[in-house]
Amino acid sequence: MLRQKAFVKKTKSGKVVRVVKEHYLRDDIWCSLEACKGCEHTEPVLSSTPNISKLFPLPHYIIPDTNIFINQIDMMEKPQMTNVIVLQTVLEEVKHLSPSIYKRVRDMITDREKRFYVFSNEHHRETFIEKLKDESPNDRNDRAIRVATKWYGNHIKDLKPSVSVVMMSDDSANRDKAAADSLQAASAKQYIESLDDTELLDMLTSATDLDEGNRIIYAEHLTPLHLSNGIKNGKFYQGKIGISSHNYLEGSIFTKVNGQETTVLIVGRENLNRAVDGDIVAVEILPKSEWRTTPTGVVVDEEEEEAEEESLRKEKKESTEGSSEDTVMTDADKSSSEPTPEELASSQPYAKVVGIIRRNWRQYCGFIDRKSVHTPAGSTAPVNVMFYAMETKIPKIKFRTRQAHSLLGQRVIVAIDSWPKTSRYPFGHFVRSLGEAGDKSTETEVLLLEHDVPFHEFSKQVLSFLPTEGENWIVQPEHFVGREDFRSLNVCSIDPPGCTDIDDALHVTPLPNGNYQVGVHIADVTHFVKPGNAMDLEAASRGTTVYLVDKRIDMLPGLLGTNLCSLRSNVERLAFSCIWELNDSAEIVSVRFAKSVIASKASLTYEEAQNRIDDDRMQDDLTKGIRTLNMLAKKLKQRRLDLGALTLASPEVRFSLEHDTQDPVDVEMKELKETNALVEEFMLLANISVARKIFEKFPDSAMLRCHPTPPAANFEKLEKAVARMNIQIDHSTSKTLSDSLDNAVLPEEPYFNKLLRIMTTRCMMQALYFCSGAKTEQEFRHYGLATDIYTHFTSPIRRYSDVMVHRQLYAAIDSSVSYGSELTDKEDMNELCAVLNHRNRMAQHAARSSVELFTHLFFKNKTEEEEGYVIRILKNAFIVLVPKYGIEGIVYASAKVPKGSKAENGSNGPAAGQAVLVYNPDTDSLQSTEVVPEGEPPKVQIQLFQKVMVQITIDDDLKGGGEGGMRQKLKMELLKPWIEGISVQGECNKDDPAAVAHVTALATPAPQAKAGSDKKRGGQETQKRGGKRSKA
Ligand SMILES: [Zn+2]
């Protein structure tokens, strides 16, 4: 049967056309019930023994409406939820409302075990309905859902054993109409409550049970219309908010203000106004009088935070009805003194969030705060608890659970649902538990989720695009078509030990004219990965392979990455080659590119290659070739350095893992050999040559990589600090910077130069992928490598950028290659670059977290005393780098409660929590507060580059109340210099007179409180803390 629907439509150009939409109604759409023999379905999806609930007499199939999928998707994804009929009406609405949820629904539909059946009710003759006059599209769709539910009910009513259908909807009006039509219906809550499944109950999103107050805490968000008008007329600025990982009450957006790109700071709960890291927000610049001096980053002290909360709770109890003024959040920093005019001139603009343009909420890993669980142990009554995300940028999340006690000590995933203006914290719901906190595999999963690293197995569909020969795939005669045969060349690869994904190999051949032919051969990944297929899309979305200490999350299936594409020795492999003629000075005479077939003669480690170079007895062609390459690489490197390429440093370490348990048994700094540099030089050269070629072919859409010049402000503190040592840093160009780094040597401090390079690295901007059409040629520049153009070509097995670059290069060298808009569309390329930049950054962070996790395992039950250097000064703390382990830790500049001291507020030292050192912005240092004669330095001072002794342990006093709280934290405590109230006693300072005096003082009864002006303040501080502590 064919129905026609005709309507008129106005085209873009204003022409009115008549559109006829044909709508076929069919009789061959089946119910897909196993027990139904009347329908002709071949592989029925719905089981003959469906769900059971106390609410309904018969086993039944669930028919959810659109909002159930939109609001309760986490619950629907649980394995308990099966035998669901997804109506076409619902699926289409979900697709329209949320592409990401639509994808999740589709995934459930393809999962056979979920038994989700899509019923095409809109094409079924008996369930299709026309919209009634005066009926809204919404009402029409609700009716379509009821009609389909009714059809199912009738269709299956005579089956044996008896079954039924239940419509699930949180819309009570829709349920009432269903009841009037004698259909079975339930809300998600009614239905789940009847199942007695605590896990499912926890997943229901319901803000009503969480909301405990009606006091307005935050300003109302403006409407989308208001926001877009405000942005258009320049009143508001739009940007993606990034929250500081040191302080979740400090955020910033990067945007153009008065034509200048600048960082706008948003500080304090009130100004952040419920924005969460990653949200796209609209901000309004605050009046200048409300700007503060440049913040140095304050570490939010958890305890202070809790104290604030405690007082808030009291305040709430005491004041039954607060005026709107005192209900507005006070934030701790607000009382800080007004900035002086000079400070203002140099400070960054401050702003407040006026509205959210797009939320970036996702699921977060973390744990339940033990202190927020007030029910007796073992209780399964629903209780509101607080959740801490592992990411310190994320605010605490309040959610309701019946499993509070069994979830303590576990890593759990929680999603944010809403953040009403009456709640200090966002509301969320429980998603799932990952396992015991502290367990290596659980924590690894946590860090992958936390950094948004896709780590699921490759789907069958992705794997279906692998060569059908599998591991037996070999180079065939037909592969030589269009390829050069380089099998006779002395190609070899040089990699770290244990490398299984070999992307690159090299060769050199002396030419009769005295020059050299040098080839870089890169795995020909795009021979196997074709644009747009499932494998390609998966690789594009992963963006990069992620390397953790004990595992690797691949971008491509293993068959390609570690086998068919890996350029192992003694097998024929397809390659994409870059061939130069270089003269004796390593200058390029000519360059060409070719698809090829190679047969590598040796897969060497850096060490093996180095040994060959050094061993004079080895005179075979391969070894001689490596020596030639080494000679040329040194010349290439020298030329790069002469041009101003930077040699930076990172405090990277390598763990030795015990074979069976994969536990770390030793840690050492990564060591670089000359041969590392050899390979690197030729890879850089290949990347530069390829960048020029693809930019020539695709001036508007070439995938390139730039490294922006760092702004002067990034170097301010570093320059100031080294000036004390009579060292100048000139960062005006990378050349001057490179020279000043070379000259910055302190004979008495051999580590200083490396430390300076590490700190310089942190002043740099991130290198980024970009589409050539989106920048001017001046902006292409790669600052660190001192080259005018750059891209990534040499690692297509583990970077998707290189896959794109291979496709562009192929199109550039062979005019017969056909390609689609994926290589030419500027917008698409821009978008892809944004995804790859994000994945790249996250991969780096995940790798770092993995090192951190292993560092903590390594330090478990150890107490080490090590030399470290102050590398960053914060307002109330400083950060120390310990070179031996490449680790950093925070040392707080506030007095702590001495361990073992009962008299928390009576010892002769500074009161707990009181700042012992205060920040001096003029010198960027922390100094003691005593009054000193003019011109004299303070008694104690902590400055950048200062050498200190620290004691390293693993903090067992975990946030969230012990075991299973925050990820174990490395605890660094100061040993030398001795600072009363901050330092601790250890092995290396046990003879320090000050430390000895401190211990003696602790042993004697506490003297009466000191006289003097600071007595009152100190006393109060301590009391507040003391009071809270006894509660905890
Ligand atoms: Zn049927």
Each domain of the chain, given as residue ranges in start order, spans 31-197, 206-324+339-436, 460-646+654-699+790-842, 710-764, 861-1031
Ligand 1 midpoint to CA 37 (Å): 7
Ligand 1 midpoint to CA 83 (Å): 15
The proportion of the chain whose per-residue pLDDT surpasses 70, expressed as a percent, equals: 83
Mean pLDDT over 851-860 rounds to 83
Residue pair 280/358 in contact by the 8 Å Cβ criterion: yes
Q: Note if the bond before 339 is cis, omega within 30 degrees.
A: no
Tell me what pLDDT residue 4 has.
58
Tell me what pLDDT residue 256 has.
82
Ligand 1 midpoint to CA 88 (Å): 17
Tell me what pLDDT residue 1002 has.
56
CATH of 206-324+339-436, one of 2.40.50.690, 3.40.50.410, 3.20.20.210, 3.40.50.2300: 2.40.50.690
Ligand 1 midpoint to CA 160 (Å): 13
Choice between 176 and 1025, residue whose per-residue pLDDT is larger: 176
Min mean pLDDT across 309-313, 602-606, 1019-1023 is at 1019-1023
State the Cα–Cα distance between residues 237 and 255, nearest whole angstrom: 7
Domain 861-1031: what homologous superfamily?
A: Nucleic acid-binding proteins (2.40.50.140)
Q: For residue range 201-248, list pLDDT tens digits in order.
A: 888 776 667 766 667 889 999 998 999 999 998 899 999 999 987 778
Ligand 1 midpoint to CA 764 (Å): 65
Ligand 1 midpoint to CA 29 (Å): 9
Ligand 1 midpoint to CA 43 (Å): 12
Ligand 1 midpoint to CA 178 (Å): 22
Tell me what pLDDT residue 326 has.
28
Type of residue at 763: C
Q: For residue range 728-774, list pLDDT tens digits in order.
A: 889 888 899 999 998 888 888 888 888 898 889 888 888 999 999 99
Q: Find, among 752, 597, 782, 754, the residue nearest to 688 by Cα.
A: 782
Q: Find, among 838, 853, 851, 849, the residue nearest to 544 by Cα.
A: 838
Ligand 1 midpoint to CA 186 (Å): 24
Structure tokens given for 936 = 């004299």
Ligand 1 midpoint to CA 155 (Å): 6
Ligand 1 midpoint to CA 41 (Å): 8
Ligand 1 midpoint to CA 91 (Å): 21
Long-range pairs, 659-668, Cβ under 8 A, ≥24: 662/440, 662/550, 663/440, 663/857, 664/549, 664/854, 664/855, 664/857, 664/858, 667/855, 667/858, 667/885, 667/886
Residue with tokens 């004979």: 747
Structure tokens given for 932 = 């000193």
State the Cα–Cα distance between residues 799 and 837, nearest whole angstrom: 11
Mean pLDDT over 452-465 rounds to 89
Ligand 1 midpoint to CA 118 (Å): 14
Element (H, E) at 642: helix 621-643
Ligand 1 midpoint to CA 363 (Å): 39
Residue pair 793/687 in contact by the 8 Å Cβ criterion: yes
Tell me what pLDDT residue 7 has.
57
Type of residue at 630: N
Ligand 1 midpoint to CA 154 (Å): 10
Tell me what pLDDT residue 668 has.
66
Ligand 1 midpoint to CA 525 (Å): 48
Q: Note if the bond before 977 is cis, omega within 30 degrees.
A: yes
From residue 795, alpha-carbon distances to 503, 792, 840 in Å are: 5, 7, 14
Tell me what pLDDT residue 624 has.
95
The DSSP secondary-structure symbol of 600 reads: B
Ligand 1 midpoint to CA 36 (Å): 5
As a residue count, the chain comes to 1032
Tell me what pLDDT residue 669 has.
63
Ligand 1 midpoint to CA 245 (Å): 56
β-pairing verdict for 552-553 and 504-510: unpaired
State the Cα–Cα distance between residues 621 and 627, nearest whole angstrom: 10
Statement: residue 345 has pLDDT above 60: no
Ligand 1 midpoint to CA 400 (Å): 41
Statement: residue 1025 has pLDDT above 60: no
Ligand 1 midpoint to CA 3 (Å): 24
Tell me what pLDDT residue 148 has.
97
Structure tokens given for 6 = 């005709």
Cβ-based neighbour number of residue 634 at 10 Å: 15
Mean pLDDT over 303-320 rounds to 45
Ligand 1 midpoint to CA 35 (Å): 8
Q: Which residues surround ligand 1, an ion (CB under 5 A)?
A: 31, 36, 39
From residue 243, alpha-carbon distances to 227, 250, 278, 719, 989 in Å are: 22, 6, 8, 26, 39
Q: Find, among 278, 234, 212, the residue nearest to 450 by Cα.
A: 278
State the Cα–Cα distance between residues 299 and 469, nearest whole angstrom: 57
Ligand 1 midpoint to CA 156 (Å): 7
Q: Can you state the percent helix, strand and coil of the chain, rounding each to 5?
A: 35, 25, 45
Min mean pLDDT across 96-100, 592-596, 982-986, 987-991 is at 987-991
Ligand 1 midpoint to CA 157 (Å): 10
| pLDDT confidence bin for 13, thresholds 50/70/90 | low
| pLDDT confidence bin for 517, thresholds 50/70/90 | very high
The proportion of the chain whose per-residue pLDDT surpasses 90, expressed as a percent, equals: 47
Mean pLDDT over 343-353 rounds to 70
Phi, psi angle pair for 539, to nearest 5°: -65, -40
Q: For residue range 256-284, list pLDDT tens digits in order.
A: 887 777 888 998 889 999 999 999 999 99
Min mean pLDDT across 9-23, 114-128, 474-488 is at 9-23
Q: Specify the pTM.
A: 0.73
The DSSP secondary-structure symbol of 861 reads: T
Q: Find, among 780, 779, 776, the residue nearest to 791 by Cα.
A: 780
CATH of 31-197, one of 3.40.50.1010, 3.20.20.140, 3.40.50.300, 1.20.1440.230: 3.40.50.1010
DSSP structure string for 695-757: HHH-TTT-EEEEBPPPPGGGGHHHHHHHHTTT-----SSHHHHHHHHHH---TT-TTHHHHHH
Q: Which of 53-57, 650-654, 852-856 has the highest mean pLDDT?
A: 53-57
State the Cα–Cα distance between residues 825 and 892, nearest whole angstrom: 51
Ligand 1 midpoint to CA 108 (Å): 22
State the Cα–Cα distance between residues 724 and 739, nearest whole angstrom: 19
Residue pair 738/641 in contact by the 8 Å Cβ criterion: yes
Do 206-324+339-436 and 861-1031 come out as alike in CATH topology?
A: yes
Residue pair 339/291 in contact by the 8 Å Cβ criterion: yes
Ligand 1 midpoint to CA 159 (Å): 9
